[in-house]
A and B are shown apart, each in its own frame.
Chain A
């Protein structure tokens, strides 16, 4: 059995009667980059705050490194680096002084400050007051201070929030290097699936305080599945040709849509269709995007987050989401 870095059991936190986090079971094995995913207000930050002992759960247990957080908080936190939501910093101090405030408490050698500044690429700006930093630099400083104590576990809450594309890319590359170079397990939360998909090895999706999916990224992608769309001159007669070959497409706006069809079948199908004098305009693979899957699972969310590439696939969950909103 792999060693669990973080394990929660029935973690629950109520705010004025509503359950912000509801019986959440997290399981994060060593060496993973775990994407903690969910729409805004799903309870991600609340969960992370409970993992860090910043807020107390109403019920449930948090175990980090196999130790109970309530009993061994200080010993656990010594081995954890964290960045919670937007960066916290002391604007009137420069980067070195900012890190020095944590260094004195963590009791690590002064050389660590230069090392982490180098890791996040802030060496050049180390002597500037942090209040003059861009958001991306502040965020990198936050990661630097999370890395300062050479943690075994890194907990990053929305580390790319509010960054521009190049900033996002930088942070992403930084996070991806962690398990490889330093053997750090990373928990990174986000409300953007595409982002998690690009850096995480496993994922937990949370909605309205409940864990609705927890597995590896490949398994999530498998769940999404793909379809082959063939656009041609006369779809209805082509359907008959396809059936004769043992394929059973559905008809969609003059296109044939095949599910679970392999390369061989496609090749034979296209040959047969050409022989039957159909004009084939387009053969394309369409993945049901993870966004759609995500929206289906989280029951809508904001409609502008839906990808617009597949009207049928995303139409249904979006309509379901709207209905739910109307019902509230």
Chain B
């Protein structure tokens, strides 16, 4: 059933421009670093990061990952929910023989697939930047693969919250405002106390007990997801 729902949801995304967001986000981030490293080649590649230009590139890019992930979650979920919210298609969708918890799950999976696709694209396009700039040294495959996904996992509580807000309320101004605020605040994540979930992606990026904060992120997400799903399954559909 969940497979059918997922294929339906993916069909509904045709011509909505959602996949452009998935493409432009990571590619844009890599392009920014290409510019940064290309223009300041002598200073950055031959000077500051001469010893290990690859980790220089990864570190510079990783600084922007938390803000990008928060923005992506907000934007993608708003767009996914908008497909149903726009013409209030919920009433038609939920009058079909479907379990509401599975509808909720399918929307989450859509967003997760897109976030993972964006992370993969970030890995590929960042690698392309390094190769194009002729970086010396071995390509750090493991770091390239994880430097997007790890902060993303630590940011998941935001998705849990946004998932519920966007799918439950027709007015998308609130989740979008909150998402933008969160992404802006995440820039200062490293200087926030550890108990604040907004700090977790930045803490993962800085490499301090990355595993702990990823685990916390996934754990808190699970709680928020279950609460959101339970409410979505019970609420009256207007």
- Which A positions have Cβ atoms within 8 angstroms of B? 49, 52-56, 73-75, 77-78, 80, 82-85, 87-93, 97, 100-102, 104-107, 142, 145
Q: Are A77 and B96 CB-contacts (below 8 A) given A55-B237, A104-B8? A: yes
Contact residues of B between 1 and 29, Cβ < 8 Å to A? 4-5, 7-8, 11-12, 14-16
Residues of A within 8 A of B92 (CB): 82-84, 88, 102, 142, 145
Residues of B within 8 A of A100 (CB): 11
Q: Which of B12, B89, B91 has the most CB of A within 10 A?
A: B91
Q: Are A101 and B8 CB-contacts (below 8 A) given A90-B83, A92-B14? A: yes
CB of B167, distance to nearest CB on chain A (Å): 15
B89 touching A89 by the CB < 8 A rule? Answer: yes
Tell me whether B48 is interfacial, beta carbon within 8 Å.
no
Residues of B within 8 A of A53 (CB): 94-95
A105 touching B8 by the CB < 8 A rule? Answer: yes
A105 touching B4 by the CB < 8 A rule? Answer: yes
Complex: how many Å from CA A87 to CA B88? 9
Write 23 A-B pairs (CB below 8 A) sorted by A numbering. A53-B94, A54-B236, A54-B237, A55-B236, A55-B237, A74-B98, A75-B97, A80-B95, A88-B87, A88-B88, A88-B92, A88-B93, A91-B86, A91-B87, A92-B15, A93-B14, A100-B11, A101-B11, A102-B96, A104-B4, A104-B7, A105-B5, A105-B8
Residues of B within 8 A of A89 (CB): 87, 89
A77 touching B95 by the CB < 8 A rule? Answer: yes
Residues of A within 8 A of B5 (CB): 105
Residue of A nearest to B86 (CB): A91
Complex: how many Å from CA A100 to CA B188? 46
CB of A6, distance to nearest CB on chain B (Å): 14
Residues of B within 8 A of A52 (CB): 91, 95
Tell me whether B234 is interfacial, beta carbon within 8 Å.
yes
Residues of A within 8 A of B7 (CB): 104
Q: Are A74 and B12 CB-contacts (below 8 A) given A54-B91, A88-B87, A104-B7? A: no
Q: Mark B202-226, 1 if CB is under 8 A from A, else 0.
A: 0000000000000000000000000
Complex: how many Å from CA A73 to CA B95? 10
Tell me whether B99 is interfacial, beta carbon within 8 Å.
yes
CB of B237, distance to nearest CB on chain A (Å): 4
Residues of B within 8 A of A80 (CB): 95
Residue of B nearest to A93 (CB): B14
Q: Which of B8, B11, B94, B96 has the most CB of A within 10 A?
A: B96
B94 touching A54 by the CB < 8 A rule? Answer: yes
B86 touching A104 by the CB < 8 A rule? Answer: no
The 9 A-B residue pairs with the shortest CB-CB distance in the complex, in nearest-first order: A55-B236, A88-B92, A88-B89, A54-B237, A77-B97, A78-B97, A52-B95, A74-B97, A92-B15
Complex: how many Å from CA A107 to CA B8? 12
B11 touching A97 by the CB < 8 A rule? Answer: yes
Residues of B within 8 A of A84 (CB): 91-92, 95
A82 touching B95 by the CB < 8 A rule? Answer: yes
Q: A82-B92, A105-B5 are in contact. List 12 more A-B contacts (CB 8 A).
A: A49-B236, A55-B236, A55-B237, A74-B99, A89-B89, A91-B86, A92-B16, A93-B12, A93-B14, A93-B15, A105-B98, A106-B96
Complex: how many Å from CA A31 to CA B8? 33
Residue of B nearest to A107 (CB): B4
CB of B132, distance to nearest CB on chain A (Å): 36
Q: Are A105 and B97 CB-contacts (below 8 A) given A89-B87, A97-B14? A: yes
Complex: how many Å from CA A71 to CA B135? 64
Residue of B nearest to A157 (CB): B91
Contact residues of B between 66 and 122, Cβ < 8 Å to A? 83, 86-99
Residues of A within 8 A of B96 (CB): 77, 102, 105-106
Residue of A nearest to B98 (CB): A105
CB of A65, distance to nearest CB on chain B (Å): 13
Complex: how many Å from CA A178 to CA B15? 35
Complex: how many Å from CA A264 to CA B35? 101
Complex: how many Å from CA A100 to CA B16? 17
Residues of A within 8 A of B83 (CB): 90
B91 touching A49 by the CB < 8 A rule? Answer: yes
Residues of A within 8 A of B12 (CB): 90, 93, 101
Complex: how many Å from CA A106 to CA B4? 9
Residues of B within 8 A of A101 (CB): 8, 11-12
Complex: how many Å from CA A77 to CA B91? 13
Residues of B within 8 A of A78 (CB): 97
Complex: how many Å from CA A97 to CA B8? 10
Q: Are A90 and B95 CB-contacts (below 8 A) given A54-B236, A54-B237, A101-B8? A: no
B98 touching A104 by the CB < 8 A rule? Answer: no
Residues of A within 8 A of B89 (CB): 88-90
CB of B185, distance to nearest CB on chain A (Å): 33
